[in-house]
């Protein structure tokens, strides 16, 4: 699996991100960092605690990251929830949460798979 | 390389602060920028302002997110405005949304520009570089204008001060009168504009009037010296003659070629020269103008002139204290002034008083200025500044300077320093082994040691400090306006500088000194007693500076906190 495959698995725009960041290495670095990003979990926890301000900040930040990494699918959903929360339409935000969950895990799954291939390929191909 | 380019080069290692709550976003920006800039990060507004507050002289470029916990981007902008950091902090917003309200609000709060997500490294770098370049250029232009302005202003002030000193010298007034009038004028005017906007004076006007105040007495150049400097009262004719200095002074200015007379400072100076002896009740001279017919510049300078004349010794009068002077003016004993100016005088009274006492602008100093020995007296003034009383010998020189070491003698101390109320840091120093040196190597060697000691001490004190040979092997240093800490360090420096000091041509002579110090305010006699005790203590401990710090809350008699180094 190469980076381009990874982007199609996660529902992202490979050409857009490469057009901006230009180096696969840089994109990969930030894809891996995304695995550790806490904003999605913060959003989930805040929603269940009905702390909508915190939830808004988290999903808003998530949206920004998606923009930078060109995760188109996850961007669209996080953007919709951000708007819902800004308009204080908490039910709509709640209703869309499963969709966000799905999109988020699709991205995580895709990145992990890509990471696996890369890890294997480097151990196989490189002589240390 | 042009100045602008140099400035730009200097700014290349510009500090950039990334303020964003998302670690990933910060890291992406760091990746984009760290090669060219000195990048720091903050995860919210609170951290950001903490970093900005650390050094108020640093120039920062801020990349600022809007939505953040604790303190958001708008709060940060407000904070920057509130603390007047706008000219050292350039803000570029990071805008994630397409919401124009947020961007507009940020602009109106002083943000310079914005970048939007997703970040395109090329665009981000270019935007930042352009912004910095623009700032560098603006900064450079501002500096050029400022330098030119100051240069011009400096020359103006210099010429005016030369001119007015010529007049002053003839008047036999102490060298500081012009400076005092200028300072008081400025203080009064600044207060005046706080109280009322009746006179619509701008900062530029205030500065013009203050500078022009130096010229108030130029007309005196044409008054015969016998009248100017006559002790005691003047006859009626003499007084009439004296009065003409106002009209003559203003005529000297109005006779200038038109293009010069048209300059604002000459206009203001004209008003001041002509009308600084008018009275608010219309009974002054030369024109008997009344109330607001007298230009405000002349009214203010008149008051400043009277205050300084009262608090200074003149050949025809003694010096009054600050309190007496203010009281006499308020009671109308020295002319009639605009009530609002009297109010200003009362309100700046504390400032005046501290100027009057702290800068030695009081009668203790003015006392020296007696007209009959003008030449010598100016020499003495000059030397006080230089700290070392040398130069042409006059009788002042013989009276107040120690002939062996050329520093001030005890008489000088008694007459000019002892009475000061603001003494707070004094040190007494003696040469430890002078008697031994005299015995072993002869009196001549002892004299050499004293001279070398005086030279060394002189090199370690500042222009406004006084070094006095108090007697025998004892030297007294009176420091002016010194912090506790500096005092301590300075005395230790003095002690150390005698270690390994070699007297020219006499390597067998070793000087060692004992130093006692006292810091704090108290009666002079008490201070001297304490510093003497401290010196005694230093003698017994050897190689130590002993200082006594007077605690304001404690009784001066009890020997406070003893500090040993």
Residue ranges and CATH numbers for the domains of chain A are 3-113 (1.20.120.160)
Q: How confident is the model over B287-324, as pLDDT tens digits?
A: 999 999 999 999 999 999 999 988 887 766 778 888 89
Closest to B116 in 3D by CA, of B101, B95, B98, B131: B95
**Distance in angstroms (rounded) separating the CA atoms of residues A42 and A44:** 6
**Closest residue to A30, CB basis, from B28, B69, B121:** B28
| Residue B525 CB neighbours (<10 A) | 9
Q: Please give the span between the terminal C-alpha atoms of chain B, in angstroms, as a whole number.
A: 53
**Distance in angstroms (rounded) separating the CA atoms of residues B117 and A17:** 12
β-bridge partners, B427:
B477, B517
Are B407 and B551 in the same domain?
yes
The pLDDT value given to residue B556: 42
Q: Report whether pLDDT(B155) > 90.
A: no
Write out the DSSP string of B297-317: HHHHHHHHHHHHHHHS-BTTB
**Closest residue to B24, CB basis, from A33, A57, A63:** A33
Peptide bond into B393 cis (omega under 30): no
The pLDDT value given to residue A117: 86
Q: Give A64 to chain B, closest Cα distance, Å.
A: 6
Comparison of pLDDT for B302 and B5, the residue scoring more = B302
Q: Report whether pLDDT(A126) > 90.
A: no
- Beta strands at B466-471 and B474-479: parallel, antiparallel or unpaired: antiparallel
The pLDDT value given to residue B91: 94
Closest to A38 in 3D by CA, of A54, A53, A27, A22: A54
User: Could you tell me the pLDDT band of residue B203, with boundaries at 50, 70 and 90?
Assistant: confident
Q: Is residue B156 part of a domain?
A: no
β-bridge partners, B466:
B478
Q: Which of B219-228, B315-324, B474-483 shows the lowest mean pLDDT across its residues?
A: B315-324
Comparison of pLDDT for B543 and B174, the residue scoring more = B543
Q: Give B41 to chain A, closest Cα distance, Å.
A: 16
The pLDDT value given to residue B200: 83
State the total domains in chain B: 3
> Does residue A45 contact residue B5 with C-beta atoms inside 8 Å?
no
User: Could you tell me the pLDDT band of residue B6, with boundaries at 50, 70 and 90?
Assistant: low
> Does residue B477 contact residue B457 with C-beta atoms inside 8 Å?
yes
Nearest CA in chain B to A19: B120
Are B209 and B356 in the same domain?
yes
Q: Give A119 to chain B, closest Cα distance, Å.
A: 22
The pLDDT value given to residue B389: 47
User: Could you tell me the pLDDT band of residue B5, with boundaries at 50, 70 and 90?
Assistant: low
Q: How confident is the model over B496-512, as pLDDT tens digits?
A: 888 878 777 788 888 88
Comparison of pLDDT for B526 and B427, the residue scoring more = B427
Q: Is residue B375 part of a domain?
A: no
Q: What is the ipTM of this complex?
A: 0.85
% of chain A beyond a pLDDT of 90: 80
The pair of structure tokens assigned to A20 is 């901006």
Q: Is residue B97 part of a domain?
A: yes
Comparison of pLDDT for B332 and B148, the residue scoring more = B332
**Highest-confidence segment of B177-186, B373-382, B519-528:** B177-186
Alpha helices in chain A (DSSP H): 3-10, 14-21, 24-36, 39-48, 52-69, 72-86, 90-125
Instruction: Write the CA distances from A23 to A15, A28, A31, B123, B126, integer angstroms.
Output: 12, 9, 13, 16, 19
In total, chain A counts a number of residues equal to 128
The pair of structure tokens assigned to B499 is 């270690």
Write out the DSSP string of B22-41: -HHHHHHHHHHHTTTSEEEE
**Distance in angstroms (rounded) separating the CA atoms of residues B419 and B435:** 32
The pLDDT value given to residue B542: 73
Q: Is residue B180 part of a domain?
A: yes
* CB proximity list for B238: less than 8 A, separation 6 or greater: B227, B230
Are B103 and B12 in the same domain?
yes
Q: Is residue B157 part of a domain?
A: no
Cβ of A57 within 8 Å of Cβ of B67? The answer is yes
Q: Is residue B480 part of a domain?
A: yes
| Residue B9 contacts A where some CB pair is shorter than 8 Å | no
Are B127 and B229 in the same domain?
no
Angle at B90 between CA B84 and CA B92, to 5 degrees: 130
Domain boundary residue among B143, B162, B180?
B143
Distance from the Cα of residue A14 to its chain's centroid: 14
- Beta strands at B60-65 and B89-95: parallel, antiparallel or unpaired: parallel
The pair of structure tokens assigned to B491 is 């005395």
β-bridge partners, B19:
B42, B64
CATH code assigned at B241: 1.10.3210.10
Residue B365 phi, psi (nearest 5): -80, -45
The pair of structure tokens assigned to B218 is 């130029």
Are B357 and B421 in the same domain?
no
Full residue range of the structural domain in which residue B443 is found:
402-564
Q: Give B18 to chain A, closest Cα distance, Å.
A: 15
Residue with tokens 């010298």: B169
Residue B109 phi, psi (nearest 5): -90, 5
Residues of A with CB under 8 A from a CB of B: 16, 20-22, 26, 29-30, 33-34, 37, 39, 54, 56-57, 60-61, 63-65, 67-70
Residue with tokens 């100076």: B269
Cβ of B118 within 8 Å of Cβ of A34? The answer is no
Q: Is residue B393 part of a domain?
A: no
CATH code assigned at B477: 3.30.70.270
The pLDDT value given to residue B405: 87
In total, chain B counts a number of residues equal to 565
| Residue B30 CB neighbours (<10 A) | 15
| Residue A49 CB neighbours (<10 A) | 10
Q: How confident is the model over A17-49, as pLDDT tens digits?
A: 999 988 899 999 999 999 999 999 999 999 999
Are B232 and B362 in the same domain?
yes
> Does residue B292 contact residue B253 with C-beta atoms inside 8 Å?
no
> Does residue B238 contact residue B230 with C-beta atoms inside 8 Å?
yes
| Residue B233 CB neighbours (<10 A) | 8
Q: Report whether pLDDT(A125) > 50.
A: no
Mean per-residue pLDDT of chain B: 81
Q: Which residues of B touch A70 (CB under 8 A)?
A: 118
Q: Which residues of B touch A67 (CB under 8 A)?
A: 96, 117-118
Residue B290 phi, psi (nearest 5): -125, 145
Q: Give B119 to chain A, closest Cα distance, Å.
A: 6
Q: How confident is the model over B105-144, as pLDDT tens digits?
A: 888 898 998 888 888 999 999 999 998 888 888 877 777 7
The pLDDT value given to residue B198: 87
Domain boundary residue among B128, B143, B158?
B143
The pLDDT value given to residue B387: 46
Q: Is residue B555 part of a domain?
A: yes
Dihedral over alpha carbons B539, B543, B549, B554 (to 10 degrees): -50
Are B237 and B94 in the same domain?
no
Kindly state the average pLDDT of the residues B219-248. 88
Q: Report whether pLDDT(B379) > 70.
A: no
Question: pTM score > 0.95 for this model?
Answer: no
Q: Which residues of B touch A33 (CB under 8 A)?
A: 24, 27
CATH code assigned at B104: 3.40.50.2300
The pLDDT value given to residue B142: 76
Q: Which residues of A touch B67 (CB under 8 A)?
A: 56-57, 60-61
Instruction: Write the CA distances from B522 to A49, A65, B485, B549, integer angstroms.
Output: 68, 68, 19, 11
Query: Three-state DSSP class for B409?
Result: strand
The pLDDT value given to residue B564: 40
Are B199 and B263 in the same domain?
yes
| Residue B293 CB neighbours (<10 A) | 12
> Is residue B255 packed enough to be buried (19+ CB in 10 Å), middle (13-18) or exposed (0-12)?
exposed
Query: Three-state DSSP class for A75?
Result: helix
Q: How confident is the model over B320-369, as pLDDT tens digits?
A: 888 899 999 999 888 899 999 999 999 999 888 887 766 555 443 333 33
The pLDDT value given to residue B1: 52
Angle at B210 between CA B209 and CA B214, to 5 degrees: 100
Cβ of B24 within 8 Å of Cβ of A20? The answer is no
The pLDDT value given to residue A69: 93
Residue with tokens 């050029």: B144
% of chain B beyond a pLDDT of 90: 27
Are B426 and B519 in the same domain?
yes
Are B194 and B329 in the same domain?
yes
The pLDDT value given to residue B3: 58
Are B228 and B283 in the same domain?
yes
β-bridge partners, B469:
B409, B475
The pLDDT value given to residue B552: 53
Q: Report whether pLDDT(B282) > 60.
A: yes
Q: Which residues of A touch B21 (CB under 8 A)?
A: 57, 61
Kindly state the average pLDDT of the residues B247-265. 87
Q: Report whether pLDDT(B151) > 90.
A: no
Q: Report whether pLDDT(B553) > 70.
A: no
Are B139 and B27 in the same domain?
yes
**Highest-confidence segment of A94-108, B414-428, B434-448:** A94-108
């Amino acid at each position: 699996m190469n980076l381009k495959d990874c982007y199609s698995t996660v529902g992202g725009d490979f050409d857009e991100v490469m057009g901006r960041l230009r180096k696969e290495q840089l994109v990969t670095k930030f894809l891996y960092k995304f695995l550790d990003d806490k904003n999605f979990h913060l959003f989930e926890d805040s929603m269940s605690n009905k702390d909508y301000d915190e939830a808004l900040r988290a999903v808003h930040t998530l949206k920004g990251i998606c923009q930078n990494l060109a995760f188109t699918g996850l961007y669209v959903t996080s953007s919709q929830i951000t708007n819902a929360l800004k308009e204080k339409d908490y039910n709509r935000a709640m209703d869309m949460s499963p969709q966000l969950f799905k999109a988020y895990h699709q991205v995580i799954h895709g990145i992990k798979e890509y990471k696996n291939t890369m890890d294997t390929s480097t151990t196989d191909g490189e002589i240390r | 390389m042009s100045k602008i380019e140099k400035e730009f080069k200097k700014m290349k290692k510009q500090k950039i602060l990334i303020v964003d709550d998302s670690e990933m976003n910060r890291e992406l920006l760091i990746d984009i920028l760290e090669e060219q800039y000195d990048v720091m990060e903050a995860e919210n507004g609170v951290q950001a302002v903490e970093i900005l507050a650390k050094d108020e002289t640093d120039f920062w470029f801020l990349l600022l997110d809007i939505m953040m916990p604790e303190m958001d981007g708008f709060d940060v902008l407000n904070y920057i405005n509130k603390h007047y950091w706008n000219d050292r902090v350039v803000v570029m917003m990071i805008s994630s949304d397409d919401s124009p309200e947020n961007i507009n609000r940020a602009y109106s709060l002083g943000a310079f520009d914005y970048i939007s997500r997703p970040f395109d490294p090329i665009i981000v770098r270019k935007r930042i570089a352009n912004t910095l370049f623009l700032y560098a250029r603006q900064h450079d232009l501002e500096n050029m204008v400022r330098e030119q302005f100051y240069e011009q202003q400096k020359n103006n002030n210099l010429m005016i001060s030369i001119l007015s000193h010529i007049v002053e010298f003839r008047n036999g007034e102490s060298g500081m009168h012009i400076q005092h009038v200028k300072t008081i004028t400025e203080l009064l005017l600044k207060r005046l504009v706080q109280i009322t906007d009746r006179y619509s004076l701008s900062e530029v006007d205030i500065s013009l009037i203050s500078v022009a105040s130096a010229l108030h007495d130029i007309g005196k150049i044409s008054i015969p010296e016998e009248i100017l400097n006559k002790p005691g009262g003047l006859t009626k004719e003499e007084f009439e003659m004296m009065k003409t200095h106002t009209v003559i002074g203003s005529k000297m200015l109005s006779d200038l070629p038109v293009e010069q007379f048209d300059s604002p400072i000459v206009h203001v100076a004209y008003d001041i020269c002509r009308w600084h002896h008018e009275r608010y009740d219309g009974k002054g001279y030369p024109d008997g103008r009344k109330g607001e017919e007298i230009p405000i510049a002349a009214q203010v300078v008149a008051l400043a002139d009277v205050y300084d004349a009262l608090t200074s010794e003149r050949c025809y009068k003694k010096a009054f204290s600050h309190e007496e002077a203010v009281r006499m003016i308020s009671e109308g004993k020295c002319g009639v002034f605009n009530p609002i100016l009297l109010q200003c005088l009362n309100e700046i009274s504390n400032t005046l008083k501290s100027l009057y006492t702290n800068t030695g602008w009081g009668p203790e100093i003015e006392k020296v200025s007696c007209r009959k020995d003008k030449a010598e007296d100016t020499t003495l003034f000059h030397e006080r500044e230089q700290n070392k009383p040398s130069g042409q010998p006059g009788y002042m020189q013989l009276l107040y300077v120690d002939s062996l070491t050329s520093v001030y003698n005890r008489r000088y101390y008694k007459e000019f320093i002892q009475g000061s109320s603001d003494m707070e840091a004094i040190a007494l120093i003696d040469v430890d082994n002078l008697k031994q040196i005299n015995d072993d190597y002869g009196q001549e060697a002892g004299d050499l040691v004293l001279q070398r000691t005086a030279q060394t001490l002189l090199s370690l004190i500042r222009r406004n400090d006084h070094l006095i040979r108090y007697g025998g092997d004892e030297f007294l240093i009176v420091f002016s306006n010194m912090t506790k800490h500096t005092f301590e360090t300075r005395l230790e420096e003095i002690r150390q500088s005698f270690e390994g000091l070699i007297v020219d041509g006499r390597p067998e002579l070793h000087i060692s000194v004992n130093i006692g110090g006292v810091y704090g305010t108290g009666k002079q006699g008490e201070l001297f007693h304490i510093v003497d005790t401290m010196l005694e203590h230093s003698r017994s401990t050897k190689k130590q500076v002993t200082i006594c710090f007077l605690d304001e809350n404690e009784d001066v008699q009890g020997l406070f906190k003893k500090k040993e180094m």
